[in-house]
Amino acid sequence: MPYYVYAVKPFAQLERLAEFAVFKDASTHAKVLRQAPPADAATRIKVMFADNPLAAEDLLLQVRQAGPSGDE
């Protein structure tokens, strides 16, 4: 499965920036993009591992629940 690099913008706007076969390459690319100042301060760069771009976008748009609070 490939690794996808996305720009996640406000209001759930996704822009696929790149696709890589190896995590190290995807991670390096994402780190370089994060170093450059974004046009919009609310834009985040994410790496997603999925079968295809549609599955990656679905995973990016899912609301994640916070873990239970406890003795941390």
pLDDT at site 26: 97
pLDDT tens digits, 18-63:
999 999 999 999 999 999 876 778 899 999 999 999 999 999 999 8
Number of structural domains in the chain: 1
Return the higher-pLDDT residue of 69 and 8.
8
Cβ partners under 8 Å of residue 68, min gap 6 = none
Residue 67 falls inside a structural domain: no
Residue 13 falls inside a structural domain: yes
Q: Which domain holds residue 16?
A: 3-61
Going by C-alpha positions, the residue among 31, 34, 25 that lies closest to residue 2 is 25
Tokens of residue 27, six digits: 């991670």
How does residue 72 score in pLDDT terms, banded at 50, 70 and 90? low
Total count of residues recorded for the chain: 72
pLDDT at site 36: 86
pLDDT at site 33: 93
Please tell me the pTM assigned to this model.
0.84
